[in-house]
Amino acid sequence: MADPVEPPPLFENVDILGDSKEDDDLFISASQEQAESYRDDAHDTLNGDPNLTKLSLDDEKPEMENVPINNAEVIQDTMEQVETAGGDQFLEISITEPQKVGEGMGAYMAYRVATKTNMPIFKKREFSVTRRFSDFLGLHDKLSEKYLKVGRIIPPAPEKSVIGMTKIKISSQSEGSPSNGNDFVERRRASLERYLKRTAQHPVLVLDPDFREFLESDVELPKATSTSALSSAGVMRLFNKVGETVNKITYKMDETDPVSASQLSPLPITRPIKLQWFEDRLTHIEALETQLRKLHANVEAMVAYRKELSHLTNGVSRSAAMLSACEDHNSLSMALSHLADTEEKVEALHLEQANTDFFILCELLKDYLGLLGSVRDAFHERTKLFQHWQHSQQMLAKKREAKAKMELTNRSDKVDQAGAEVIEWEAKVERGQENFDKISKMIKMEVERFEKCRIHDFKMMFIKYLENHLNHQAQLVKYWEAFLPQAKAIA
């Protein structure tokens, strides 16, 4: 079990009763040094190759000397570079060869992460490393710590399964192999692979040093400290969510965004038009999440019914085979024997269709339920910055009131100090508003990208599902067409 960690404060960036705990600009978390690290790594890898410059940040060096990588304009430029690169740049990640390491309750599963790429930020074109499940959770925690507070949507890490992993730990080595039918190991392998691919699709996360180290550093990573299923950090994160909900009720957010008239109507409009973008978007996300949960539950039920149908078809096959052995009529006995063989093939087809439905439909829907949770997390961070900003405004009003009282009572010895405090809180209010505007802009950009990816993923899901469904039905027709002559031959 992981060592207990120091629980985070309930209100990470806001101190309702006193001064702000974090007055610095939150959008300099991945600051100049990190940006220079990205540029230097890309520059060293390129070595002057003109064919590998599309994702290099070295071209932006003069402008990026004093610009943090979290700046919205820089992020937009990076996204445009990735889109422009198109088919020239690729990053293929696959997870194979899950192996059980150790015995007993101290055992764990290790996965081989293989990567192929021509991106200049990586040192090699092909490489592979071995990672355990806790390494994936550790990577997610690092990315969330650095990027979530500035409004980025971080792909969620796969969920822990105490029951599933306990079965693996107490099983033998051969039973823990997916080749022997262990669904849990295969599902986890697939979910880990999807997690890495989603992270690699993000134009900023793919440049992160921790992500690159995870993929190409062939050394054991530091053990994550907050991956225990019932760790103190996990419990405190739950309490933090409750605290954030209470704070959102405490601070009323005016969700109105000024939008120019030219963006909405070709007709000349003189007065400004306001849209409640964030409130409407959050309502849309909540409604989408509700419907996806219903769809996911129904698809899971469909998969269960298909597996039950496969099991019942197996019973039909066995009964037909036994009846064939008891039948004296030769042609009828032969037809029953062929019926048993056909039903056995149909059984395998139903089971295959149930598995493909699960991996194509269920898993994608489950992933997007987690991604919608990540979108909500980004909205929570915006709420926290709004609280920080409002708290600074309240403190500024108190400091100004205190200064005015001192001036009225002619306490000249305290006026200078009060004036300095007013100036200090005015700066905090200005930074709070600036950070709030930045995270609002970042979330809008991230949500737009999320919607594009969602539409593309669902389109590909439907196409793949229909293709597999049609292939299964076509194969089913072939089986019964092959049996039809046997039925007609009964004399």
Q: Model confidence over 368-390: pLDDT tens digits?
A: 999 999 999 999 999 999 999 99
Q: Is the pLDDT of residue 115 over 50?
A: yes
Q: Are 185 and 109 in contact (CB under 8 A)?
A: yes
3-state secondary structure of 165: helix
Mean pLDDT throughout 78-98? 67
Mean confidence (pLDDT) of the chain: 76
Task: Say which residue, 5 or 150, is predicted with more confidence.
Answer: 150
Single pTM value for the model = 0.70
Which of 377, 372, 432, 392 lies closest to 244 in space, CA to CA? Answer: 377
Residue 241, pLDDT score? 55
Among 96-105, 324-333, 394-403, the range scoring the smallest mean pLDDT is 96-105
Residue 270, pLDDT score? 39
CA–CA gap between residue 380 and residue 385 (Å, rounded): 9
pLDDT exceeding 70 applies to what percent of the chain? 67
pLDDT exceeding 90 applies to what percent of the chain? 48
Among 265-269, 332-336, 428-432, the range scoring the smallest mean pLDDT is 265-269
Instruction: Give me the helix-helix angle, 209-216 and 183-201, nearest 10°.
Output: 140
Mean pLDDT throughout 411-432? 88
Task: Say which residue, 264 or 480, is predicted with more confidence.
Answer: 480
Residues 6 or more apart in contact with residue 127 via CB below 8 angstroms: 114, 115, 215, 216, 218
Mean pLDDT throughout 78-89? 51
Q: Is the pLDDT of residue 71 over 50?
A: no
Domain ranges of the chain: 26-224, 257-488
Confidence of residue 339 (pLDDT cuts 50, 70, 90): very high
Residue 36, pLDDT score? 47
Mean pLDDT throughout 190-208? 92
The amino acid at 442: M
| pLDDT tens, position by position, 146-181 | 999 999 999 998 887 767 666 666 665 444 444 444
Pick the CATH number of 26-224 from 3.30.1180.20, 3.30.1520.10, 3.20.10.10, 3.30.70.260: 3.30.1520.10
Confidence of residue 231 (pLDDT cuts 50, 70, 90): very low
Among 22-31, 94-103, 479-488, the range scoring the smallest mean pLDDT is 22-31
Phi and psi at 95, nearest 5°, equal: -120, 125
Residue 239, pLDDT score? 55
Among 118-127, 276-285, 403-412, the range scoring the smallest mean pLDDT is 403-412
Residue 86, pLDDT score? 47
Phi and psi at 9, nearest 5°, equal: -65, 150
Residue 186, pLDDT score? 85
Residue 252, pLDDT score? 52
Phi-psi label, residue 291: left if phi above 0, alpha if psi -120 to 50, beta otherwise: alpha
Phi and psi at 473, nearest 5°, equal: -65, -40
| pLDDT tens, position by position, 211-220 | 999 998 887 7
| pLDDT tens, position by position, 303-332 | 999 999 999 999 999 999 999 999 888 889
Residue 81, pLDDT score? 46
Which of 443, 435, 421, 422 lies closest to 388 in space, CA to CA? Answer: 435
Residue 62, pLDDT score? 32
**Cβ atoms within 10 A of the Cβ of 199, count?**
22
Confidence of residue 253 (pLDDT cuts 50, 70, 90): low
Domain 257-488 sits in CATH 1.20.1270.60: yes
CA–CA gap between residue 176 and residue 458 (Å, rounded): 32
Residue 436, pLDDT score? 92
Mean pLDDT throughout 291-309? 95
Task: Say which residue, 366 or 228, is predicted with more confidence.
Answer: 366
Q: Are 362 and 369 in contact (CB under 8 A)?
A: no
| pLDDT tens, position by position, 14-69 | 333 334 344 444 454 444 444 444 444 444 433 434 333 333 333 333 333 333 33
The tokens for 119 are: 């991106």
